[in-house]
Amino acid sequence: MTDVVSPAPVHPAAPRFRHGTIEAALGAALLLAWLIAAFGAGVFAPYDPNALDLVAMLTPPDAAHWFGTDHLGRDVLSRVIYGARIDIWMGFAGVIAPLAVGVTVGLIAGYFGGLTDTILMRIVDITVAFPFFILVIAIVGVLGPGLVNYIIALALVAWVAYARLVRAEVLVVKRLEYVQAARALGFSDPVIILRHVLPNVLGSITIYAWTDAVMVILAGASLGFLGLGAQPPTAEWGVMIADGQPYVLQAWWICLFPGIAMVTLSLGFILVSDGLSRRLRVSA
């Protein structure tokens, strides 16, 4: 370029980070903090989460009990920290179980098509026709309250979203020429599905799964609140909020701190999901 003067650039300087990097990093930091808290609960928690101290019950936050104590004199901070173990476990298990079911069904339905597809997708339609939370509560009601049964209920109900998502992606990918090439090369269907289709449909599933974890944690806490999830005296955030509810006017801290914990953990998952989706969208 020589003497020609260009109009001022309309565009601001290129971003220093790739799109979504900041979100993903913030989310990962939040999650990492909670993971450290959960694994190191024995070290970080000042008290036994289930130790009763009837003398110090309903103590407001002070130097001895940073988050105060509940109606049985249990230390809220310790219970929040130990609760992370339950809620994080719930978040992961509650995503992986339906994901495994849904991805399998979606791959089979999308790849083979025809009658297989029709039958599987009608089962999906039927499952979707029931209100999600009511169905989960009904299944947990039949199986009996508890976290494991909650995860089983999720696997039975929440897989449909994954199945639909994966099937739609498979329908696109299986028309691509590398899948045709794999067929022409005489590879078996399982090889084509696992090696050539699955890795190329995982992107959007991963993004959805991180958001889904939030739903799983919130629904699990709600179930705990209703007495159908984790059982007292387990330190689980939903159970803690349920426990504190009768005292919420005198002792707000019993409900507030597990609530904040839940929000920050959820935020972590959401930020990671958001960051990943932006990054994948840009580089795709």
Chain residues that interact with another protein, rule: CB under 8 A: 1-2, 4, 6-7, 9-11, 13-15, 18-19, 176-178, 180-187, 191, 195-196, 199-200, 282
Q: How far is the CB of 203 from another protein (least distance, A)?
A: 10
Specify the residue, 39 or 178, whose C-beta has the smaller distance to another protein.
178
Helix (H, G, I), strand (E, B) or coil at 10: coil
| Burial category of 54 from C-beta neighbours within 10 Å (exposed 0-12, middle 13-18, buried 19 and up) | exposed
Contact 259, 267 (CB under 8 A): no
Specify the residue, 10 or 43, whose C-beta has the smaller distance to another protein.
10
Q: How far is the CB of 256 from another protein (least distance, A)?
A: 42
Nearest 5°: CA angle at 258, between 254 and 263? Answer: 140
Task: Fill in the DSSP letter of residue 196.
Answer: I
Specify the residue, 188 or 250, whose C-beta has the smaller distance to another protein.
188
| Burial category of 90 from C-beta neighbours within 10 Å (exposed 0-12, middle 13-18, buried 19 and up) | buried
Q: How far is the CB of 260 from another protein (least distance, A)?
A: 36
Specify the residue, 203 or 233, whose C-beta has the smaller distance to another protein.
203
Specify the residue, 9 or 42, whose C-beta has the smaller distance to another protein.
9
Q: How far is the CB of 18 from another protein (least distance, A)?
A: 5
Q: Which of 97, 110, 213, 223 is nearest to 157 (CA)?
A: 97
Q: How far is the CB of 124 from another protein (least distance, A)?
A: 22
| Cis peptide leading into residue 145 (ω within 30°) | no
| Burial category of 219 from C-beta neighbours within 10 Å (exposed 0-12, middle 13-18, buried 19 and up) | buried
CB atoms within 10 A of CB 223: 26
